[in-house]
Structure 1
Amino acid sequence: MGPSTIPAAVDAAAERFGDTEAVVDGEVRLTYRDLRTRVRQVAAAFAAAGLKTGDRVAICAPNTWHWVVAALGASYAGGILVPLNTRFTAAEMQDVISRSDAAALVVATDFLGRNRLAELEELGGVPEFVLTIEDWAFTDEVDAAPVRADDISDILFTSGTTGRSKGAMSAHRQALAVAAAWADCGAVVTGDRYLVINPFFHSFGYKAGILVCLLTGATLVPQAVFDVARTIELVEQERITILPGPPTIYQTLLAQPGCDTLRLAVTGAAPVPVTLAERMQKRFGTVLTAYGLTEAVVATMCRPDDDAETVSHTSGRATADFEVKIADTGEILLRGPNVMIGYLDDAAATAEAIDADGWLHTGDVGVLDERGYLTITDRLKDMYVSGGFNVYPAEVEQALARLDGVTESAVIGIPDDRMGEVGKAFVVSTRLLSTEDVIEHCRVLLANFKVPRQVEFRAALPRNASGKVLKVVLRKESP
């Protein structure tokens, strides 16, 4: 029986893995004992600032060792982690900080040419306690706060179909259970070296990345900004054995000499051609695909002995004690101990997502084969996935409605070789607008992965008899 809370997992890792490297980030190389010391120091800083058990701690920073220590330190101090998407605009960040009632903020003041703290200060409402990763010096330590397995460990905000983000709440036991299940499927062990490109603010980067390493003693190597050349360099320099990423990464790696230390490739967010899966298995060994969402993190996953056809055409079978079934509508339903506890301060949305029998309605459509392997075929919702991030057209359409002259719009996802899908906006306007006008307007209001990459101007949008826009028609008419 492993640890049931994240603070307990930090202490257990220090005892079990000791001098094994825990985090390698440039010149910073922390053993598991070092990691616990840093975590205890950050927890002491939170405690000195008055953080109480159950208070929320927001983090807006790139994938560096600071994020790891800050997140674990927040948990160690009894706080609840609220990750912020680094691509959010200041208004989007402030909305999450306000609605989560964050008592503290950990922030990078210099990342990708933006000072996010200054942006937030201009809007007002910054928490009283702010810790910047550029000002990082602590000496005092504290013991772990008394938290329980069923206490909330994190609130991960995900967009809703109405455009209003929702905070999915998970308990300590759930965060650790999905990490343990992922580690089991990937056979992750001490000695593995795990390059994490997926943002830590995403459920995958945090729970299937940081927490997986904490439970197994694998070495975490974060990459702050995705760059294929840098990824290849890190694989070679740090002798990386585990690498999750989109199929395009592996297409590049397969064309490179070296990178022979990789033994586990995990991919998704875009279809994996059978021929690519075969080449990856031959070169790297194990190739896995998976299916999950913020409300359940990882629900299905392939297994190491699955063939290339299975890896290419399915998202694996149930893991982490999940049950999977297909509703009469074709919707994928999930039930199990790791379904989120609910949405923060939104009982109505929680009841809509999780029915009386405990089934989570995912909004995705799929089929199960005779082996219990899941294939995703469509989405009930209009949501599409761009670069691994969910985009809800309603939110983009609301932003477009603020552009002078736009009378109506419709946004769909269209295939893209690099991002999986990108947005295409169909716009009806009373004045002459250019594609650049629309895109620049969206860039001001939305995170960049939500900004449409294509714009088509129309005199009218296709509608059915009841007046609803027929996006199915727009999809058929888009190459």
Structure 2
Amino acid sequence: MFDLIPDMAAKRAELSGEALAFHDVQTGLDWSFRDVDAAANGAADALTSKGLKEGDRIACLTLNRAEFFVLLLACQKAGLILCPLNWRQPLAELVEVLGPVSPRLILHDDAFAVTATKLAEALSISCESFDQSAESWAAGRPGSVGMIPADRPWYLLFTSGTTGRPKAVIQTARMAWANAVNIGQAIHLTPADRSVNFLPLFHTAGINLYTLPVFLNGGGSKILPKFDAADLLDLLRSGEITQFFGVPAIYQAFSLSADVDAVDWAAIRCGCGGAPLPEPLIRSFAERGAKVLNGFGMTETGPTVFLMDEQYAEAKIGSVGRPQMLTECRLAGVPDGAAGEGEILLRGPNITPGYFEDPEATRAAFTADGWLRTGDVGLRDSDGFLRIVDRIKDMYISGGENVYPAEVERALFEHPDVLEAAVVGVPDPRWGETGVAFVLARPGQTIEPEGLRAWCRDRLAPYKIPAKVEVLDEFPRTAAGKVRKTDLRARMA
């Protein structure tokens, strides 16, 4: 990949001009690629006129809106670093997250004006509303296509914090282009495609699955403020959307809606990531005509690394596919290309250069020869397809035997009354560790814990059967919809 990359907004405006880049559902406004580039130029000028200079950080606290992408592209033009914030976090956590980043400005929407004001006061910096700022951005005009450094930090995404304090993962233009290639060729993106943006913009999926790759390929995106199952199903039912990406919790919510069968799923290319989509859910959508392609990626990988091939979607259920065009994959301890099981190691232009102002964490994340350690165990079959076994940190040892919670969770999910399951290992005086299963019941169903353990006896080795089953009303989750297993372990403690 090159050291310099064309300004993304300007180049897309040059190529696509009046074509639709964004339709903001909340405001009803359409944004052409020329509109986006002009506003991004105006935003870049407005920000630098405030004294902001290359490398300075800008925090952002907002629901999804078209102006976010204007701001993102303006930061690329001006060499500023955008820090999207998790609006689900309380003020104290936001202060802790932003402390090491030292932003100079916070931009916010009306929904988070109070929080942003208090956050700015705590950090002794200024804050502005998007609406206030956008007035000055409107004065922008399309400019020439300049070149930008491919590896210059562009924006920071904070890890979900499932294992401790969030780290600020550096994102670059090189990573964005590599992700656009990896996902674009895999799902055949074209300028005719229309996607929908609803996942939170402080998460890599909200930006990169698929909104930014669609933008870079000349397609358009509908922007919803946030996830709402009814609104999203209405949009999918309209027939306007050709590409859709969701995390498992989204597909689960769809499956419980009476409107799910009103969607022509065969007309939409569907992707899933963030966690494995359970086999029964894959099959239920396949019966509706949808081939949901499981994939794998991380904030540190831009994120697309693996994606299932459409022709093998049903034959290889449970797999996340093969590594895409611009990513190399190794399994620790397994000969290159051979079938086997080991930690997934990755290398390529889509990999982050590291964590912002955290050289120790950066060193720990990479091997001595430059491969990113994912912390995930992968099982590669003889055809090169990979299955995620589990997170290394989630594995526990019971009576000397390794137990991967994901395997136990798959068995639990097959029970007709179980909506979702999460398993964690906890200390045990006799066995060292044993498993505790937390489950959600399907609407209208009741789960009897001992009955569920009996169900497991027919499907799992004795040491894998959870010693205890707890039925919950809901799971603690990250912004990406992943279950916070640290919270579940703390509950047992």
List aligned pairs for 1:334-349, cutoff 5 A: 334-349=346-361
Give, in angstroms, the shift of residue 416 of structure 1: 4.9
| 1:366 and 1:376 in contact (8 A); partners too | yes
2-structure distance, mates of 1:417, 1:217: 43
Structure 2 vs 1, CA of residues 343 and 244 (structure 1 numbering), >3 Å: closer, same or farther?
Answer: same
2:167 is aligned with what amino acid?
Answer: K
Matching residue within 284, 304, 316 for 1:298? 304
Are 1:248 and 2:252 counterparts? yes
Change (3 A) 1:163 1:457: closer
- 1:99-118 mapped onto 2 (5 Å cutoff): 99-110=100-111, 115-118=114-117
Query: What amino acid maps onto 2:125 in structure 1?
Result: P
| Residue in structure 1 matched with residue 321 of structure 2 by the alignment | 316
Q: Name the structure 1 match of 2:363.
A: 351
Quote the Cα distance in structure 1 between the aligned partners of 2:40 and 2:299. Answer: 25
2:125 to 120, 127, 133: 127
Deviates more, 1:155-164 or 1:56-65: 155-164
Q: What aligned pairs does 1:363-374 form with structure 2 within 5 A after superposition? A: 363-374=375-386
- The one-letter code matched in structure 2 to 1:295 is E
Name the counterpart of 1:63.
64
Moved more, 245-254 or 177-186: 245-254
Q: SS at 2:346's partner residue? A: strand
Give 2:135's match in structure 1, choosing from 125, 129, 137. 137
- Give the direction of change, closer, same or farther, for the CA distance of 1:116–1:259 in structure 2 (3 Å limit): farther
Separation of aligned partners in 1, 2:389 and 2:202? 27
Cα offset, 1:30, TM superposition: 0.9
Q: Is the 8 A contact 1:178 1:298 kept in 2?
A: yes
Structure 2 residues not aligned, in runs of 5+: 334-340, 396-404, 407-421, 425-433, 443-473
Once the two structures are aligned, what percentage of the paired residues are identical? 29
1:456 offset after TM fit, Å? 8.8
Residues 254 and 237 of structure 1, relative CA distance in 2, 3 Å threshold: closer
Contact 2:319–2:387 (CA<8 Å) still a contact in 1?
yes
Q: 1:242-283, CA deviations, whole angstroms, 9 ceiling, x for partnerless residues?
A: 111133255348742244684211113444344543553564
CA 1:261/1:230 → structure 2, altered by over 3 Å: closer, same or farther? farther
- 1:228 equivalent in alignment to 2:229: yes
Deviates more, 1:220-229 or 1:232-241: 232-241
Q: Please tell me whether the aligned partners of residues 180 and 215 of structure 1 are also in contact (alpha carbons under 8 angstroms).
A: no
Structure 2 matches for 1:444-459, cutoff 5 A?
Answer: none
Amino acid across the alignment from 1:102: P
What is the alpha-carbon distance in structure 2 between the residues aligned to residue 154 and residue 417 of structure 1? 39
Letter in 2 for 1:248: Q
8 Å CA contact 2:265–2:290 kept in 1: the answer is no
In structure 2, the residue matched to 1:13 is 12
SS of alignment partner, residue 137 of structure 1: helix
The structure-2 alpha-carbon separation of the partners of 1:272 and 1:169, relative to structure 1 and needing over 3 Å to count, comes to closer
Q: CA deviation at 1:350?
A: 1.2
Residue 18 to residue 450, structure 1, CA distance change in 2 (3 Å)? same
Describe the shift of the 1:353–1:323 C-alpha distance in structure 2 as closer, same or farther (beyond 3 A): same
> In structure 1, how many angstroms separate the alpha carbons of the residues matched to 2:387 and 2:322?
9
Shift of 1:84: 1.2
Deviations 1:257-314 (Å, cap 9, x if unpaired)?
A: 244684211113444344543553564555311101111112111123223132x311
Q: Distance in 2 between matches of 1:379 and 1:152?
A: 28
User: Residues of 2 paired with 1:261 and 1:285: CA distance?
Assistant: 5
Paired residue type of 1:150: D
Unaligned 5+ runs, structure 1: 386-390, 394-409, 419-438, 462-479
Contact 2:106 2:116 in 1 (8 A): no
Kindly provide the amino acid, as one letter, of the partner of residue 363 in structure 1: G
1:18-38 deviation line (CA, Å, top 9, x unaligned): 221110112111111111122
Shift of 1:415: 5.1
**Counterpart contact for 1:90–1:116, Cα < 8 Å:** yes
Aligned pair in 2 of structure 1 residues 304, 17: CA closer, same or farther (>3 Å)?
farther
TM-score, length basis structure 1 = 0.75
State the match for 1:239 in structure 2: 240
- For 2:445, the equivalent position in structure 1 comes to none
Instruction: Work out the number of aligned pairs and report it.
Output: 407
Matched residue SS, 2:387: strand
